[in-house]
Amino acid sequence: MKTYEARREQALAAFHGGVAIIPSATTIPRNNDTEYEFRQNSDFYYLTGFDEPDAVLVLAPEHDEHRTILFLRERDRATEIWNGRRLGVDAAVETIGVDIAYPIGSLAQELPRYLCNVETLYYTLGNSENDACVRAALGDARAMTRRAGFAPDTIADPSPALHALRQIKSAHEIAQMRRSAEITAQGHIAAMRATRPGLHEYEIEAVLEYEFHRAGAQRTAYESIVAGGDNATILHYRENRDRLAEGTLLLVDAACEYNYYAADVTRTWPVNGRFSAEQRAIYDVVLAAQQAAIETLRPGQPQKAFHYAAVRVITEGLIELGLLRGSVDEAIERETYREYYMHGTGHWLGMDVHDVGRYRDLSDTPVTLEPGMVTTVEPGVYVQRDAACDERFRGIGVRIEDDLLITESGSENLTAMIPKSIDELEAIIGTCELEFSGQRVSSGAI
Ligand code: CA
């Protein structure tokens, strides 16, 4: 609990002079009696380590008695028999380490008094039910302070302050991210070993996610992308239903979430274990671009520098292969490379796969890298089936993505253990027959 108490202390300092209201996530119905998988709101979890729905954390740095207040569900024997255990109000103070806990049902009654005599209410608008509750509490606080004292005259978003904290990872967080990376590596390696022509994308997906869950990861960090052949040229391909064809590449963008920390990894490998000349040529360009991008990562560098490094290497490579015309500077200036490389080179990574944290400061300058930040580095080249180029390259999609921790002297690749060189990949693909616990259904069956 010390971890979360220390984070709340930092947040309390950030909300000095105000009160912050941080609601949990809520359950979302899927259909009759069934809900979508519950996943706690990252800000709420960052400050509490508490993973139940229908809870609200209030941070009141100016309050005399209660600086940290938790509203949560009450124990309920009948409901718990059906839907699982609850912490309950009585255990919350000791377990979570807050100053006081109340039943969530008393939020409307208790909240107004915490809003009296503070200038700023920190609350993220957007959830209509929560918004209505906060608006009513503010109204009540104004009524309570009409004759003496005052109620908040400013409503501000708590996100910038919280997200600035989340953007710099502590040693504890880095340890979680290392484990998330290790488990993700196990999944990718198992998927590489299992790959052979004739399997379906979903079978590789099953291998990946089996390894994630077997190692204790609670869930995937995002929907796994298992894209064979020209499905790899669809950036967010998610169907995962096609068969892996001889002579094609397989792009796998998949990672686990472990203890609320995400990895985000892409590897691309040949289905039959051998790169063709054209596949190899494209792969070499993307790998060189990724290496150039990673080399730029160090404290003090602008966040965008690694993207420009990747774009230059990709553009040079595409011109050399005849996929782009003109000079490198001209192709970069006119952005003609975007026909084949249409996304950015990386995003922040942490509790959320596209993690919080600014990319540009308030004067619209790219932020500079600092130790403790984590970014993906993920260049790619995607030659669409209908691209106006040498047909031998059509339908090839390659992306290579690793997770980089910014250190005092440069960066550390948290996912470096996942095979990436052509030699490593060719040595591992298809080295393990996929085993099924039951009898295999004939492969044409639907
Ligand atoms: Ca990714």
Q: What are 247-267's pLDDT values in tens digits?
A: 999 999 999 999 999 999 999
Please confirm, yes or no, whether 63 is among the known catalytic residues: no
What's the distance, CA 262 to chain centroid?
5
Please confirm, yes or no, whether 200 is among the known catalytic residues: no
Please confirm, yes or no, whether 340 is among the known catalytic residues: no
Catalytic residue (choose from 8, 166, 382, 403) = 382
C-alpha 235 – ligand 1 centre gap (Å): 9
C-alpha 264 – ligand 1 centre gap (Å): 5
| Mean pLDDT across 210-237 | 97
Please confirm, yes or no, whether 347 is among the known catalytic residues: yes
C-alpha 218 – ligand 1 centre gap (Å): 18
| Mean pLDDT across 147-162 | 95
| b/e per residue 291-305 (b: at least 16 CB within 10 A) | bbbbebbbbebebbb
What is the residue-averaged pLDDT of the chain? 95
337: pLDDT strictly greater than 70: yes
437: pLDDT strictly greater than 60: no
Please confirm, yes or no, whether 210 is among the known catalytic residues: no
| Mean pLDDT across 186-201 | 97
| Mean pLDDT across 180-204 | 97
* DSSP letter string, 11-68: HHHHTTTEEEEEE-----EEETTEEPPP---HHHHHHH----SS-EEEE-TT-SS-SE
Please tell me the distance from the alpha carbon of residue 201 to that of residue 320, in angstroms, as a whole number.
32
* Three-state secondary structure call for residue 398: strand
Catalytic residue (choose from 77, 85, 236, 440) = 236
Of residues 265 and 361, more confidently modeled: 265
Which two structure tokens, joined as six digits, stand for 406? 């910014």
Give the chain's end-to-end CA distance (angstroms, integer). 49
C-alpha 401 – ligand 1 centre gap (Å): 7
Please confirm, yes or no, whether 153 is among the known catalytic residues: no
Catalytic residue (choose from 347, 355, 402, 403) = 347
Please confirm, yes or no, whether 382 is among the known catalytic residues: yes
Give the pLDDT band of residue 445 (cuts 50, 70, 90).
Answer: very low
C-alpha 382 – ligand 1 centre gap (Å): 15
Which two structure tokens, joined as six digits, stand for 35? 């809900």
Alpha helices in 221-355 (DSSP H): 277-295, 305-320, 328-333
Burial degree of 442 (CB within 10 A; 0-12, 13-18, 19+): exposed
User: Model confidence over 378-416: pLDDT tens digits?
Assistant: 999 999 999 999 999 999 999 999 999 999 999 999 999
Q: Indicate the residue type of 350.
A: G
Catalytic residue (choose from 135, 354, 385, 392) = 354
Please confirm, yes or no, whether 401 is among the known catalytic residues: yes
Alpha-carbon Rg for the chain, nearest whole angstrom, is: 25
Please tell me the distance from the alpha carbon of residue 211 to that of residue 430, in angstroms, as a whole number.
17
pLDDT of residue 434: 74
Under 8 Å between Cβ of 113 and 100? no
Catalytic residue (choose from 209, 253, 355, 403) = 253
Please confirm, yes or no, whether 33 is among the known catalytic residues: yes
Please tell me the distance from the alpha carbon of residue 323 to that of residue 389, in angstroms, as a whole number.
6
Please confirm, yes or no, whether 267 is among the known catalytic residues: no
Catalytic residue (choose from 86, 200, 213, 343) = 343
Give me the phi and psi of 227, to 5 degrees please: -120, 105
Crossing angle of helices 159-167 and 2-14, rounded to 10°: 130
Please confirm, yes or no, whether 52 is among the known catalytic residues: no
* Three-state secondary structure call for residue 387: coil
C-alpha 415 – ligand 1 centre gap (Å): 12
C-alpha 346 – ligand 1 centre gap (Å): 9
C-alpha 47 – ligand 1 centre gap (Å): 26
Please, which residues bridge with residue 31 across strands? Answer: 34
C-alpha 198 – ligand 1 centre gap (Å): 25
| b/e per residue 186-222 (b: at least 16 CB within 10 A) | bbbbbbbbbbbbebbbebbbbbbbebbeebebeebbb
Beta strands in 303-406 (DSSP E): 374-377, 380-382, 397-399, 402-406
Catalytic residue (choose from 230, 257, 378, 402) = 378
Closest CA to 162 of 29, 57, 258: 57
| Mean pLDDT across 278-304 | 97
C-alpha 254 – ligand 1 centre gap (Å): 7
Q: Which residues contact 331 (CB under 8 A, 6 or more apart)?
A: 315, 318, 319, 324, 325, 337
C-alpha 164 – ligand 1 centre gap (Å): 23
Distances, alpha carbon 390 to alpha carbons 250, 282, 393, in Å: 21, 13, 6
C-alpha 265 – ligand 1 centre gap (Å): 5
Per mean pLDDT, which range of 170-184, 263-277, 374-388, 427-441 is the poorest?
427-441
User: Model confidence over 14-37: pLDDT tens digits?
Assistant: 999 999 999 999 999 999 989 999
Closest CA to 4 of 58, 40, 41, 50: 50
Which two structure tokens, joined as six digits, stand for 252? 């796998």
C-alpha 190 – ligand 1 centre gap (Å): 18
444: pLDDT strictly greater than 70: no
pTM: 0.95
